[in-house]
């Protein structure tokens, strides 16, 4: 890189930043003045209604007399409570992810033969197009698996004979291929990341047709292909819990926004991957573990509430952790008293921790969950019913399963690809939908053009 490149000059970049700051301040009082729905949220905190969906339903409060009244959270896939769905396939001793994918995509539970055929189809589609790994993953590695995944999804466009065909048949074909291939891309992107960025040996395993999605993933990312039945069942449950979350979550909405423009499947899904990567969305599962790394180093006595509260205060004040001021894993746009997914994952985390001798770490997570609302209130002065979200305990569960941190958010994507595909199809094959085009209030004063020789 050239040293004299202007872009490398701190002074020049500093002067551009000053120029930007001089002209780009927007008075925060304008949001109220012009009734702007910040974050597409109404004044009472409920989301702006942007569409209709039959896919997922997220319930976290009831509105009474114009106020949000907190309640225990419920997550419903195609009318079926996720807890009932899980109880059903667990008690019938089946893997549940393929069945969930079928339900979310088509709108009904599959019968035995439909499930068998669908599972076989997904397993058959796992192999990537010829030379894809060599040309698209190995040749342009990335230190971040989500970044590589987004780029690989976009690259699949070139390998698709009908990338722009928006017919239902074609969208379903593309969806099934993506659901099957995303885990293979993630496994290969991770192997390549380890090789090029962590100086490890490169191993690439071929996807297995006789395995469930959860088993195949564990087989694919482990050097020796080894996994236990319990691990595969737990990962399967995690995939089911992450598969869908309504049309308004940031990544599904991103997918729907792009789909509403009429663009292709790969552009829409790559946008959703980019959204999920964000630390306030799916990227929070990795951030939670980094934050706990910091809490574990800072707090000497993990049983001392006062010491933990002081540490959380430092985090909210942006003086500890990544400086964002966020306690990752806490808070949700819809859930208030509880996120049902976090409740389930916490149960598994507790029993796994007891088996693995990690109960002390689990207890620290639970204490942070308990103390966060109190600390939030004392620092921000806001009473807010705040609960742990799905990202609070998922990383801990993965850690106890020896799944590396690089794969936490990609695992979210491997599951959520199902929801994204279902929302894309619903967005396109629904006669009521229009291109999404909200408004922005322009607040810059108008001014005349100044000729060059009169500018200061
Ligand atoms: C899969 C998922 O996406 S689950 C969410 C994963 N994300 C996280 O865990 C990150 C931490 N949590 C958050 O950032 C938020 O709670 C979100 C993004 C999940 C929800 O955001 P919102 O719906 O905007 O929350 P809400 O409207 O209640 O926030 C109000 C205020 O509380 C703050 N706040 C909310 N959650 C937190 C938190 N965990 N830590 C610190 N401050 C928080 C917001 O920054 C905002 O502050 P401001 O008014 O000074 O800007
Ligand atoms: O619904 C949201 O805003 C975020 C979330 O929990 C998810 O997408 O799983």
174-218 confidence digits (pLDDT tens): 999 999 999 999 999 999 999 999 999 999 999 999 999 999 999
By annotation, the residues acting in catalysis are 332, 391
Clarify whether residues 392 and 264 are in a common domain.
no
Give the DSSP H or E segment for 423. Answer: helix 408-428
ipTM: 0.98
CB-CB contact of 403 with 411 (8 Å)? yes
CA distance 389 to 336: 10
Query: Which stretches of the chain drop beneath a pLDDT of 50?
Result: none
Using alpha carbons, select from 382, 330, 334, 253 the residue that is nearest to residue 63.
334
The sign of the dihedral angle between the CA atoms of 275, 267, 419, 46 is positive
Residue 316 CB less than 6 A away from ligand 1:
yes
Number of domains forming the structure of the chain: 2
* pLDDT given at position 21: 96
* pLDDT given at position 1: 52
| Position in ligand 1 atom list of the atom nearest CA 39 | 24
This prediction's pTM:
0.97
Report residues whose beta carbon is within 6 angstroms of any ligand 2 atom.
Answer: 58, 245, 249, 333-334, 389-390
| Full domain range(s) for residue 318 | 284-400
Clarify whether residues 237 and 184 are in a common domain.
yes
Residue 242 CB less than 6 A away from ligand 1:
no
* pLDDT given at position 5: 86
Clarify whether residues 271 and 301 are in a common domain.
no
Residue 395 CB less than 6 A away from ligand 1:
no
| Position in ligand 1 atom list of the atom nearest CA 288 | 9
* pLDDT given at position 92: 97
| Position in ligand 1 atom list of the atom nearest CA 333 | 23
| Sheet of strand 80-81, all strands in order from the earlier edge strand to the far edge | 56-64, 67-77, 80-81
CA distance 82 to 77: 6
Clarify whether residues 251 and 342 are in a common domain.
no
Clarify whether residues 337 and 318 are in a common domain.
yes
Clarify whether residues 325 and 421 are in a common domain.
no
Q: Tell me 300's DSSP state.
A: S
Segment 240-277, tens digit of pLDDT: 999 999 999 999 999 999 999 999 999 999 999 999 99
Segment 38-43 long-range contacts (CB within 8 Å, at least 24 positions apart):
40/248, 40/438, 41/333
* pLDDT given at position 66: 83
> Which CATH number characterizes residue 382's domain?
1.10.230.10
* pLDDT given at position 2: 62
Segment 426-429 long-range contacts (CB within 8 Å, at least 24 positions apart):
426/53, 426/54, 426/55, 426/247, 427/51, 427/255, 427/256, 427/259, 427/260, 428/166, 428/171, 428/259, 429/168, 429/171
* pLDDT given at position 329: 98
* pLDDT given at position 3: 64
From ligand 1's centre to the CA of 74, what distance in Å? 19
């Amino acid at each position: 890189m050239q040293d004299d490149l202007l872009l490398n000059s701190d002074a020049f970049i500093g002067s551009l930043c000053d120029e930007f700051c001089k002209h780009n301040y927007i008075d925060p009082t304008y949001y109220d003045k012009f009734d702007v729905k910040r974050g597409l949220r109404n004044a009472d905190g409920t989301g702006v209604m942007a569409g209709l969906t039959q896919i997922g339903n997220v319930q976290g409060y009831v509105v009474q007399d114009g106020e949000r009244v907190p309640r225990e959270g419920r997550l419903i896939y195609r009318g079926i409570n996720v807890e009932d769905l899980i109880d059903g396939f667990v008690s019938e001793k089946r893997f549940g992810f393929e069945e969930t994918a079928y339900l979310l995509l088509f709108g009904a539970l599959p019968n035995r033969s439909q499930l068998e055929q669908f599972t076989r189809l997904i397993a058959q589609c796992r192999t990537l197009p010829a030379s894809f790994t060599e040309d698209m993953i190995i040749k342009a590695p990335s230190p971040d698996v989500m970044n590589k995944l987004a780029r690989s999804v976009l690259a699949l466009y070139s390998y698709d004979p009908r990338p722009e065909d928006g017919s239902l048949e074609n969208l379903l074909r593309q969806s099934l291929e993506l659901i099957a291939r995303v885990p293979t891309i993630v496994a290969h992107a991770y192997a390549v990341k380890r090789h090029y960025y962590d100086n490890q040996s490169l191993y690439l395993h071929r996807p297995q047709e006789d395995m469930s999605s959860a088993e195949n993933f564990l087989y694919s990312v482990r050097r020796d292909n080894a996994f236990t039945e319990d691990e595969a069942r737990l990962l399967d449950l995690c995939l089911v819990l992450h598969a869908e979350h309504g049309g308004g979550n940031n990544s599904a909405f991103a997918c729907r926004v792009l789909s509403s423009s009429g663009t292709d499947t790969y552009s829409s899904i790559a946008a959703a991957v980019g959204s999920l990567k964000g630390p306030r969305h799916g990227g929070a599962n990795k951030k939670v573990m980094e934050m706990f790394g910091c809490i574990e180093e800072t707090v000497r006595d993990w049983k001392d509430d006062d010491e933990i509260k002081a540490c959380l205060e430092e985090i909210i004040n942006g003086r500890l952790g990544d400086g964002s001021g966020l306690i990752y894993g806490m808070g949700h746009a819809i859930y208030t008293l509880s996120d049902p997914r976090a409740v389930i994952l916490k149960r598994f985390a507790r029993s796994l921790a007891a088996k693995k001798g990690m109960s002390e770490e689990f207890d620290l997570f639970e204490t942070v969950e308990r103390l966060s609302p109190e600390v939030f209130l004392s620092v921000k002065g806001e009473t807010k019913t705040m609960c742990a979200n799905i990202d609070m305990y998922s990383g801990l569960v993965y850690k106890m399963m020896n799944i590396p941190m690089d794969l936490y958010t990609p695992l979210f994507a491997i599951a959520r690809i199902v929801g994204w595909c279902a929302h894309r199809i619903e967005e396109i094959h629904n006669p009521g939908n229009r291109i999404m085009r909200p408004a922005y209030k322009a607040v810059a004063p108008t001014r005349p053009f100044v000729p060059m020789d009169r500018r200061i």
